[in-house]
Each structure stands twice: as structure tokens, then as C-alpha cells.
Structure 1
Amino acid sequence: MTATTLPEIVVVGTGGTISAVADARGRNGSGLSAGEIAAGAGSLDGIADIRSCDVRRIPGRAMTPPDMHDIATRVLAEVAAGCSGVVVTHGTDTMEETVYALAAMLDVDVPVVVTGAMRLPADPGHDGGGNLRTAVVAASYRGLAAYGPLLAFGDELHLARWVTKAHTSRPAAFASPETGPAGVVVEGRVRMNAAPDDSDHLGLPTSLGATRVELVWIYAGADGALIEAASQRADGIVVAGTGGGHTPPSVAAAIGDAVGGGTPVVIASRCAAGPTLHDTYGGPGGEAHLRSLGAVHAGRLPALKARLRLQVALALGRDVHEVFPR
């Protein structure tokens, strides 16, 4: 690249609020293409040369792991074609899941940045244009490739592993409770607060459509019924346990039966931050007991991300014990 050549950034559209248009009944659907979103974002002149394509035009609530696989495949194709970076526009409902799925499936030498909007394009204070500009600036900074896929929102850059949607409706909807944002974009420049973390990359499976992983949330009074039901259909189960990764005794018994029957079970925590414990509690349903039953602990990985990691690992035929921290 010469001093006068701008980076080529590909905007991959998948739908969501950033693309929504009002229909005749006042409802909003995913209508704008990636090219139309980029054109309406305000001037990106002097930042990058923009090229666009669409993989989906669906709301975030409709996103599935097979859709995420298609996004990853398209990103790989664009990188192979020589782009300098990729921005994925996405609905916010499941954005934290897609960015982590991309982190698990992609290992590329250009930045990949996921963004979207909380306010509709016709609303006052629409944030889609500003978020897209932040994402394009980030995707133009070659050094961000080492961080894996990032989520850009409200001038902040978040690591895929830690980011979550922390509010249902505010423009500042995303946070990383465990670490805070990894960086920011200020005056058109990237400022990073943290060094790259360990890679979450596992590999790109042929498909995610044939692999089913269920997420079971633990609450006071839960029994083993959902674990028993999930083990009849799922290829794997992630349990969002209480505290450091705990379950009621009856749930623990069902976990033991599931593992004994050949269904891998990963224990995460339902807490917003902090790792699963290892050897603090050993009674029925404590983390040491669950581990003795053959369950695998997710460590610091949140439950939503652990579900996607398990799904990708199983689709790749990987040993579950090897892809989660001990």
C-alpha cells in the first residue's frame, strides 16, 4: 500500500436495526443493503475505499449458527480477495454471539469488526452512521487483526470473548463487564487499552447446521428435567450455573447421566463476570463434584460464548476437554 492509497474495507450486511426501514404499518424490517447503509453513513472519504455485499437481511433475533457460518465463509472469501479489513453490520440482539462465533471460526490477518445500531435510521439521534464510521476506522487499522474479531459501538472497541449487550434500549448498549472496552476510536484514531488476548480460534467447520447445543440456565429450585430433555436431542449442553459454576443436587445427577450417555456438558456461570471455580466447593452440585462427573468447566468464558465454542468444537470433531481451559 502506498502513502496515497486508502485501505479497501468490505462492509458485509446481515440486517438488523442499522438497516431497518419503516413499512406502511409503521413497523420496521431489515430492508437496506450494506451499500445503502454505507452510503447513508456520512462521508467515509479519506478513511477507506468501501466495497459492500450482503449475506443476510434479517433481524438479530433471527440469526442462527448456520447464518454465522455463512458470514465467516464470506469474510474468508473477501480476505482472500485482498481486502484490508471487513466490517459486518448486524442486529444487536445476537451481535455478541456472532462476533464470538467469528472469533472461534476465523484466523485472518486483517481486522474484522462487527457493528450495528440501537436507534432506527428514521429516529432522532440515529447511531448507525457513527457506529459504522467507528468500525471502518478500526477495520482500517492493520494492528487490530491480532485482537481477533471485535465489536464496535459508541466509539468503543470490545473483545469478542467479553462483550455483552448490557441494556435493552440505550445507545450505549454494549459493555465488557470483566475487562472494560479493549480500546476506543477518538478523532479518527484507534487507541487500545489492552494487549491482544489469547486466541479463541478453533477452525471453520464444513457446517454448523447439523450440530445442536442447548443452553440450560440454572435457578433456585431447578431440577434435572431440562438436562434430561436436552440430552435426548442435543449433541452437547452448556449449563449456566449459579455462582462459580454450581447446580442443585438433582441437576447434578442429570448432568452425570447425560455425560455417561455420551453427551458432553460444559459448566459456565450465569454471573456477569468472573471464572468458574475449580476446587472450592465439593458437595453435590459443587464445581468439584460436577467435574468428577465428567463435566467440563468453561473457565472465564460466559455461557453464551461457551455454547458457541462447544458447537464449533463438536462440528470440527474436537475433544471438548482440549478446547476449554482447565
Structure 2
Amino acid sequence: MTTAPAAEAARVQLLSLGGTIFMHQDADGQGAVPSDDAGARLAAGLRGAGGDGGIELVHEEIANVSSASVRPSHLRTVLQRARAAVDAGALGVVLTHGTDTLEETAFLLNRFWDRDAPLVVTGAMRPANAAGADGPANLQDAVHAAAAALARRLGVLVAFDGALHLADRVTKASSRSVSAFASEPSGPLALVDGPLLRPLFPAPMRPALVGGDLPEELPTVATMTSGLGDDLTLLDALASNGSAAGLRGLVVAGAGMGHVAAGAVPRLTALLEAGVPVVVATRVASGGTSETHYAYPGAGADLVARGIVMAGLLSPQKARLLLQVLLATGADAAAIREAFAGFGS
């Protein structure tokens, strides 16, 4: 009599970079810091409670730092480990991460993630030992999303507070609420209902895919905010003391639909003439930039005519990352403009 081999358990790879989800706070509910054992306890607790739905969860810690200290080299390792896990049979990958720069990590990884399997980023707003800690629920949702057939070929996703977001649209909308993330302009892609995903709209195609290895370091691209009475005179100071020499690109968080003061225009034009690409985003949370609504000096149509690229629906922080990736891959001015056009500039 021959016994059929047991079916191999479905597997999800859990990678961790730290963040609040792996922190403990003091007895007064303050002073949260990274904990050496919070990650192992969280993964073990999920398995023990059956919250992984019978999925084998394999945990590997890459770092245990705040999200402000995450570097491109960390994400290069994440990408390598995630690809290897999927190629070895994992249904998907979950990455735990601090929330402060979570949207940036998701966006950057989405430029390089070239597998059909989901790569789902999650975290927490409350430390692991806090009353009402949200990490276990977020991790459970992320594991379910990583194993879901409906999440395949969607690239990098963010699971948070019962919702699943596209990496290119998600943004941190609150510095305190457990419902910290939102997506502009669409809302979340799906709701996570236990092991099921409830799609809310068809996922669009991902623009600006790069593939290959994520660089250890990215070129220096500065971000400046333009506001009332600001002609971006700081650019003069950078030029006078030589600090601009290492500048590879500039992103301006403009007002309204991506507007700057008329007095700033000659300074931005000078950067372009020096071979430094300039991208203008908007500091406004919703609506993006426009290339056509206004044509006065410093408005979208005027900036585009001068060779400046508009960021479309990308926030300044995501526009910076996209410009860095494009510069790292040797993109010229035409390629940069084409890449940003995919985000509705």
C-alpha cells in the first residue's frame, strides 16, 4: 500500500524592518523603543491564535529600526529576500515597517517588484504592549492578503486597519489614528475580511516599473516647499557655497496645482540649464498638479514650457523617490517626463 505524500503547507514569508509594531512602551504608555523580542512574539502569537489561517509563516528580521532610519540598502535586502522566498514557493511576502515612511518604502519597492506574488507592507500605530495594540490585526490582514489569489499581479500593497491600498496611491493621513492611511484619489483597493478580499474597484496598471536590483544608495535629490513670499532663495545659498554641486535633482512642493512664485522661476530655470532636472509637485493632499489650468509665470503651463516636469498625483515624497530611481538608471529628460506622465501629470 502506497501512502500519498502530505500536501505542502501554504507559506508566506515575513520580513521585518522594525517600527512601532515591534516596539514596547513604558509603564506610563510613553517612550516607545524597539524591542528585541516583539517581532518573534507577534509572529508566534499570530500562529498560536490561528490568525494565519493555517498558513506557514516564516519570519526573518532584516533590521529593527524606526522608519526614519530605513535606508535604500535595507530595501535592497528586502527585495532580494522577497524574490528568493517567492521563487522558492512562498505564496507572498509581508514586510513590517514603521509607519512614518511606510508609504515611501511601498512606492520605492513597487518600482522594482517584478513577481506576480503580492508583497504586502504593514505596521502599527500602537506599540506591541499597548492596550488595543493594532499590530496583530494588521499583520493578520497582511498575511491573508499575501496569500490571496486576488492580490496576485497587483505589485506592492499596504494592509492597514482592515483596508488594502495600492503602493502608488497610499499616503499617511494621520500621525496618531490607528486608521492612519488613506489613498488618493481612489480610496483603498479592497477591504480585508478575514481570509477574503473584498475588491472596491479594478486595479490599474502600474506605471514606471524599473525592475532589476534596487541600488544601495540613491542620487541626491532635494525637496523644497514653496509658499507665501518664498522665491526659493535658498537655491542661491546652495549655489554660492558649492552645496549644489552634488545635487542631482530637485523636487518642489508647490502651492495649489503646483505653483511657485514668479521670483522662483529664474532659479529653477538656472538649475535646468545646469543639467539638474526639476519636478514640481503640490503640497496639497488631494488633486495633484496641472499642466494646463494656469499659464502665468510660475504656474503649471509656464513651468512645463520651460522644461520642468509636473508630478501629477504623486506627493512630493514619492516624486523625490521616483526621480532618484530614474536618475540612478540613467534616464534622460524625455524618459523622466514620460515616467511622471504615467501618474497623471
TM-score (norm 2): 0.88
* Counterpart mapping for 1:243-282 below 5 A: 243-282=256-295
1:205–1:50 Cα change, 3 Å: closer
SS of aligned partner of 1:50: strand
Equivalent-residue separation in structure 2 for 1:4 and 1:182 (angstroms): 32
Q: Distance in 2 between matches of 1:92 and 1:217?
A: 22
Gaps of 5+ in 2: none
1:82 match: 89
Q: Partner residue of 2:306?
A: 293
For 1:123 and 1:24, the matched residues in 2 are separated by: 9
Aligned counterpart for 2:45 among listed residues 36, 40, 48: 40
Distance 1:54 1:33 in 2: 11
- Checking the alignment, whether the CA contact within 8 Å between 1:268 and 1:299 is kept in structure 2 is yes
Contact 2:52 2:144 in 1 (8 A): no
1:8: which partner in 2?
Answer: 11
1:209 matched to which residue of 2? Answer: 217
Residue equivalent to 2:31 = 27
Corresponding residue for residue 318 of structure 1: 331
- Of 98-107 and 274-283, more deviation after overlay is shown by 274-283
Whole-angstrom CA distance in 1 between matches of 2:254 and 2:170 = 19
1:119-198 to 2 correspondences below 5 Å: 119-198=126-205
2:233 maps to: 225
Higher-Rg structure is 2
With over 3 angstroms needed to count, the CA separation of the structure-2 counterparts of 1:237 and 1:204, relative to structure 1, is farther
- Structure 1 residues 12 and 33 mapped into 2: Cα distance closer, same or farther (>3 Å)? farther
Q: Does 1:17 align with 2:30?
A: no
Q: CA deviation at 1:153?
A: 0.5
2:117 corresponding residue in structure 1? 110
Asked whether the 8 Å contact 2:23–2:38 carries over to 1, the reply is no
How far does the alpha carbon of each residue in 1:50-80 deviate from its partner, in whole angstroms, 9 at most, with x for none?
Answer: 1111111101121233333332222222222
Q: Distance in 2 between matches of 1:267 and 1:21?
A: 39
Moved more, 128-137 or 140-149: 140-149
**Could you tell me which amino acid in structure 1 is paired with residue 31 of structure 2?**
R
Q: Which segments of 5 or more consecutive residues in structure 1 lack a partner in the other structure?
A: none
The separation in 1 between residues aligned to 2:340 and 2:180, in whole angstroms, is 28
When residues 191 and 275 of structure 1 are mapped into structure 2, their CA distance, relative to the original with a 3 A threshold, is same
Matches within 5 A, 1:85-96: 85-96=92-103
* Shift, 1:206, TM fit: 5.3
Note the alpha carbon deviations across 1:76-135, whole angstroms, 9 max, x for none: 222222211000000011101101011112121101100011111111100100000000
Q: CA separation in 2, counterparts of 1:208 and 1:278?
A: 34
Letter of the 2:186 partner, please give it: T
Q: 1:123 to 1:135 in 2, by over 3 A?
A: same
Contact between 2:259 and 2:298, CA under 8 Å: does it hold in 1?
Answer: yes
Of 226, 231, 234, 2:247 maps to 234
1:100 to 107, 112, 119: 107
- How far residue 239 of structure 1 moved from its aligned partner, in angstroms, is 1.2
Query: 1:210: how far off?
Result: 4.7
Contact 1:112 1:150 in 2 (8 A): yes
Residue by residue over 1:145-180, the C-alpha shift from the partner in whole angstroms, topping out at 9 and shown as x without a partner, is: 222101100110011111111111111111113111
Residue identity opposite 2:66 in structure 1? P
- With normalisation by structure 1, the TM-score equals 0.92
The 3 A distance-change label for structure 1 pair 119 and 45 is closer
Worse-matched range after superposition: 86-95 or 306-315: 306-315
CA RMSD of aligned residues (A): 2.2
Specify the SS of the correspondent of 2:18.
coil
1:180 partner SS: coil
Percent identity of equivalent pairs: 35
| Superposition deviation, residue 216 in structure 1 | 1.2
Deviation of the 1:321 alpha carbon: 2.1
**Distance (Å, rounded) in 1 between the aligned partners of 2:302 and 2:202:** 36
C-alpha contact 2:116 2:154 (8 A) present in aligned 1: no
**One-letter amino acid of the counterpart of residue 15, structure 2:** V
- How far apart, CA to CA, are the structure 2 residues paired with 1:238 and 1:75? 30
